[in-house]
Every structure is written in structure tokens, then in C-alpha cells.
């Protein structure tokens, strides 16, 4: 049985096709990376992919937040999040399905979760996601706005394509 969709997600689901209706200005987009030093893929991502992203004009034009969290923890409590994203704590926790593990990567548009995934995407994949939003073109990956808490990393709520 599917879980009921919270009211704040209803509008997102109703207007979230695979094609953006119009380009989204970069200042409305935020990329969040959650992981820590106890996570080898997280350390590798910060050492290799993050510097590549930081050289990208598309990435430089959006908001970026890095959240330190251990592999064994879910999304940290609000007080442990960077100040600029503390207000997103309930939405991030909901979208993660309460799942621990690292890394978690998230794209947020207008303070709503647009895509949430587990694992470390490469710079090219993240740039492609950002470019699709900014240019109003087809989003290159299957989106998920709520993951299950299961270890299989499955998606519970995915907007219609």
C-alpha cells in the first residue's frame, strides 16, 4: 500500500513532468551532498567530483550545501544542518525515507525536493541535472521525491514521466 502524499508535495507532483515547463533560474536551485569522513565514496566524491563541479559555470550559479553525516545516521536533526538549510530538515527527512547510509544527494528547487538519490553521482551527471533545469529541457534521470527506507534504495514517490 502506498503512503499518503503530504499536502506540500501535491503541487510538486501535479506540475512535475519529465520536461520542465520553462527554464528555472539558477538561484532557485540547490544541490545538497550529505556524507562524512567515515564514508569512502563520500571522501572520494569531495576529492575528485566536487572540484570538477566547482569549476563548472552551471554549478557555480546554484546554491550548494554540504552536510556532514555518518554512514549510520539518517538526515541529521535540524540543529546539525548548515543554517541555510535548517528549514528544509523535515522535507529532507521525509524524502530520505528515514534511511541511513551515505552519501545522500538531493536537488531542491524553490525549497521543495526535486530529486533525491543515494550514492555519489559524478560531476557530469550532476551538471546534466542542473543544465536540464536551467535550460528547461528533459531531465536526464528518473526522479524520486521520496525514497523508501529499504536497503534496495527504491523510490516510493516518483513524479509521472
pLDDT in tens, 67-124: 999 999 999 999 999 999 999 999 999 999 999 999 999 999 999 999 999 999 999 9
Q: Could you give the CA distance from residue 129 to residue 132 in angstroms, rounded to a whole number?
A: 5
Q: Which of 3-12, 124-133, 147-156 reaches the highest mean pLDDT?
A: 124-133
Q: Where are the domains of the chain?
A: 22-157
Domain 22-157 has CATH 3.30.70.100: no
Burial class (CB within 10 angstroms; exposed 0-12, middle 13-18, buried 19+) of 156: middle
Cis check: omega of the bond before 101, within 30 degrees of 0: no
Per-residue pLDDT of 15-65, as tens digits, reads: 444 444 689 999 999 999 999 999 999 999 999 999 999 999 989 999 999
Q: Which three cell numbers stand for residue 148?
A: 523508501
pLDDT at residue 14 above 80?
no
What's the pLDDT score for residue 11? 41
pLDDT (0 to 100) of residue 159: 87
Number of Cβ within a 10 Å radius of residue 58? 18
6 pLDDT more than 50: no
How confident is the model at residue 21, as a pLDDT?
66
Amino acid at each position: 500500500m502506498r503512503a499518503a502524499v503530504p499536502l506540500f508535495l501535491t503541487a510538486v507532483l501535479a506540475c512535475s513532468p519529465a520536461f520542465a515547463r520553462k527554464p528555472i533560474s539558477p538561484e532557485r536551485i540547490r544541490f545538497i551532498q550529505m556524507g562524512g569522513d567515515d564514508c569512502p565514496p563520500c571522501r572520494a566524491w569531495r576529492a575528485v567530483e566536487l572540484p570538477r563541479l566547482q569549476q563548472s559555470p552551471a554549478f557555480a550559479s546554484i546554491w550548494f550545501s554540504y552536510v556532514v553525516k555518518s554512514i549510520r545516521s539518517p538526515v541529521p536533526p535540524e540543529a546539525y544542518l548548515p543554517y541555510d538549510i535548517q528549514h528544509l530538515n523535515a522535507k529532507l527527512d521525509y524524502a530520505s525515507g528515514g534511511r541511513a547510509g551515505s552519501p545522500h544527494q538531493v536537488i531542491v528547487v524553490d525549497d521543495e525536493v526535486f530529486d533525491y538519490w543515494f550514492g555519489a553521482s559524478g560531476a557530469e551527471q550532476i551538471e546534466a541535472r542542473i543544465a536540464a533545469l536551467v535550460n528547461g529541457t528533459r531531465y536526464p534521470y528518473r526522479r524520486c521525491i521520496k525514497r523508501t527506507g529499504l536497503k534496495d534504495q527504491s523510490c516510493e514517490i516518483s513524479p509521472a514521466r
